[in-house]
Structure 1
């Protein structure tokens, strides 16, 4: 029948009458990148920041479920009705594996926290959304984020109507002088900066890992500026085990809200994340609770609870490995490090010693990503040309700035690829870059 406009009718809906975030570049980013991947299935993808699938096994899921079932049976003295109810019924809003998450944090990260401060979420994206929804109390409230930054933080901030003020990234992680200037300027304009979002370990997209000293400096700056720190840590356990501690482990002032995910270290398909929000919250009648309690109230009106079955799978993996996902991911960690070495060696072989003027790259020490600088504007249109003409995908950096302005930088992800795919993909990428560099020179 098609669309018909009826006098006095609100149909069809006008996009201008929907939430303004739906018209922003951020809202289109994920869909655009997914569609390009689907349209060119034979392309080698340096775009998808996914875990390596070579170790996935459906039998592990059943085993993890069984391990958790036995754990519950012991906990409930063999009461199978309670076991079934815990796994198959609606669960508590904060989650049913909060105690195991707290034990995992103590073992792997040196973070000692009351399990009641843990809210288990539907992926880390929900943890981020809940936190921002709680912090955004007035139109004056704003979020600060080291930019370029994960596209999901831009999207979550827009959904809760919380303006995001960019802070420059530095080789140390955060440009603290710029952070101070942005906060002071915002307050002078009547705004209220609430928190700084950052990924200290192998940040997406740049791959920067902050040193212990830089983390401490950033925590001191947050205290001086009276900011919370939202520490997002999806990749830390996949780096050098002797690397710097999390900011949450270093925090002595209670400023860090810790955002965690089991997508990279547990199972992405389970969609289980969490937030540690142990900050005290006082009310008008006195008394104090935790920020986690407030986040749970919001969650109860959005996703109600995180799938107990999905939580059970993660719980089984934690129990099977003595609560240590660092130990459970030893082979994955080596795969990612080997892939990073292949990428860096491969880029050097194809672009090193000035073979293509204007091409350079950074050298992260871990994670899933690196940045390639090129002598042309790496736009969405060029990505489609790269996919169609050279069968290789990458991510334009403007998606991490929440705008549509092309930069001379592309993000390359190497986490999910086999060595032969990396080699072939770099050959294809080199052909595309040389072609575009020549065109730009002309």
Structure 2
């Protein structure tokens, strides 16, 4: 395969020029530009492996040791034995399918109480294959059909919009302002949906160091959102994966502030422990009328039903590794992330300092260049004086050896055409310095070409 040939072209090169299937005969979501955009980014990364990449939102590899996995599994086995499990029962928990809702729910509930001050029964937790499955389960359970809708903060994580479209749900954008979320914007969107004859079921938001913009919701905004959700009878889908890997004090999650079961919290151990485990969870403590007189269940039970038809259960071995790591740290993932949160905080500061040095205030003003200053997380947004599309990304990779992500990928409607997302999580300080220098040369060249 030549460097010029994309992975898609290589796979489709059958020799006779004929295709086995037509895209228009497949599900409509497969023609969605959002899915194509991420494929393009993957292909660019493959084509230019030597480029410095500010694109992936991956944890830094330097914190991982293979022995951690074995130690985690061993700690969980010891925990089971200490809890009175027989050898046969331990073997079954590791080798067999296990319950759809998960077998480490008590461990997760203990961690949530200690680290996040979220006090929910273990029965309200469903252990999922990453947070992505939790999103799919929540969307599938809550949205009955085209008469219902889901609102998303815009720009937002492509995983939620992609999952919605795979389920034939068209996400409704609630624009995020420069200073973040405003409750009146959600109220306006809810009213507009009801005027169209649709029922807004839930609002998806990342309150802490959001992907892609890096903004964090204030405590006042969190309280306003919860009050509004209760008044408008809308659930909140809260996704907050960057809290424990960010420096400084943390504001309470929406779920910790939730007193009326308005929040379905979607979580993951991908950033706090390791992404290869693919262990996430949903907290769904909302009560559900079952149709039987006097009997109610939990939304978590309904999510578990759906999960049993999708992934059956989450890998028991992955669950064991995650639970063992939590148990070894006294149930506190925060204790495991003291060093990592400091590292990512330093990486963000270093990136901002290099950008400041490359583009002093006067030069930024003249170019129309600006960026935000997140207090944590993996991402930041840079507004640029040119069209930051796939063609620009290809030029950046080929001529300057630096990758980034177009912000337009993250807008369910239109937007972000002249902005880029930078991820600071996967690079060393030396790579950040060289990467920003390359990025600066690219921005200068593009600005000159379009002036």
TM range (shorter): over 0.9
Which one of 257, 264, 273 corresponds to residue 266 of structure 1? 273
1:388 aligns with 2:398: yes
1:358 aligns with 2:365: no
Q: Which residue in the other structure is 1:85 paired with?
A: 92
Query: Are the equivalent residues in 1 in contact too, given 2:154–2:412 (CA < 8 A)?
Result: no
- State how far apart, in whole Å, the 2-side matches of 1:146 and 1:19 are: 25
Which one of 38, 45, 54 corresponds to residue 30 of structure 1? 38
Normalising by structure 2, report the TM-score: 0.94
Which one of 407, 410, 420 corresponds to residue 417 of structure 2? 407
Q: Which residue in the other structure is 1:162 paired with?
A: 169
Following TM superposition, by how much is the alpha carbon of 1:16 offset from its aligned partner in structure 2, in angstroms?
1.3
Q: 1:277 to 1:241 in 2, by over 3 A?
A: farther
For residues 59-105 of structure 1, the C-alpha deviation after alignment (integer angstroms, 9 at most, x for no partner) is 1111111111111111134x111111101111110011111011110
Which one of 180, 202, 207 corresponds to residue 173 of structure 1? 180
Which one of 264, 277, 287 corresponds to residue 280 of structure 1? 287
Q: 5 Å matches for 1:40-189? A: 40-77=48-85, 79-189=86-196
RMSD of aligned alpha carbons: 1.5
- Runs of 4+ in structure 1 displaced over 3 angstroms? 1-5, 402-406
- State how far apart, in whole Å, the 2-side matches of 1:241 and 1:339 are: 14
Q: 5 Å matches for 1:226-265? A: 226-265=233-272
Give 5+ residue unaligned stretches, structure 2.
Answer: 1-13
Q: Which residue in the other structure is 1:8 paired with?
A: none
Query: Are the equivalent residues in 1 in contact too, given 2:173–2:412 (CA < 8 A)?
Result: no
Q: Which residue in the other structure is 1:429 paired with?
A: 439
Greater Cα offset, 148-157 or 355-364 = 355-364
Following TM superposition, by how much is the alpha carbon of 1:35 offset from its aligned partner in structure 2, in angstroms?
1.4
Following TM superposition, by how much is the alpha carbon of 1:405 offset from its aligned partner in structure 2, in angstroms?
6.6
- State how far apart, in whole Å, the 2-side matches of 1:117 and 1:222 are: 20
Give 5+ residue unaligned stretches, structure 1.
Answer: 6-10
For residues 86-131 of structure 1, the C-alpha deviation after alignment (integer angstroms, 9 at most, x for no partner) is 0111111001111101111001000001101100000000000000
3-state secondary structure, aligned to 1:48: coil
Normalising by structure 1, report the TM-score: 0.96
Greater Cα offset, 115-124 or 397-406 = 397-406
Greater Cα offset, 134-143 or 417-426 = 134-143
Q: How many residues align?
A: 435
- State how far apart, in whole Å, the 1-side matches of 2:414 and 2:213 are: 19
Query: Are the equivalent residues in 2 in contact too, given 1:144–1:167 (CA < 8 A)?
Result: yes
3-state secondary structure, aligned to 2:63: coil
Query: Are the equivalent residues in 2 in contact too, given 1:206–1:369 (CA < 8 A)?
Result: yes
- State how far apart, in whole Å, the 2-side matches of 1:341 and 1:23 are: 39
